[in-house]
Amino acid sequence: MPEPEDAEHVEKERAERREERAEQEEPGNRGERDESAEDAERRRRRAAFLRELNEAKALRDRVQPRRARAARMRQQMRMRTFRW
């Protein structure tokens, strides 16, 4: 069973979290929502970019199989000689 001091500490943290949530839900905090929308848009654009980049790399590997194989071999050698 937790000691009384621990229980008080836990209750304080819970109360602080409730206050933070209440502040975030106030209508005056539109800026935070705008930022999250901007972040979501940025993440969406980034995901699209990374998809296109992977497609381009796959196409390059199909078009230049010898170069792709050499690159794979170099990567394997790098990983073999890598030290933690």
User: pLDDT tens digits for 1-57?
Assistant: 445 456 666 777 777 777 777 766 665 555 566 789 899 999 999 999 999 999 999
Q: Do 23 and 29 touch, CB atoms closer than 8 A?
A: yes
What is the DSSP code (8-state) at residue 22?
A: H
Q: Please tell me the distance from the alpha carbon of residue 62 to that of residue 71, in angstroms, as a whole number.
A: 13
Residue 23: count other Cβ atoms within 10 Å of its Cβ.
Answer: 11
Q: Six-digit token pair at 77? A: 């050698």
pTM summary value: 0.46
Higher-confidence residue of 60 and 25: namely: 60
Q: Is the pLDDT of residue 63 over 90?
A: yes
- Specify the pLDDT at position 16: 77
Residue 70 has pLDDT above 70, yes or no: yes
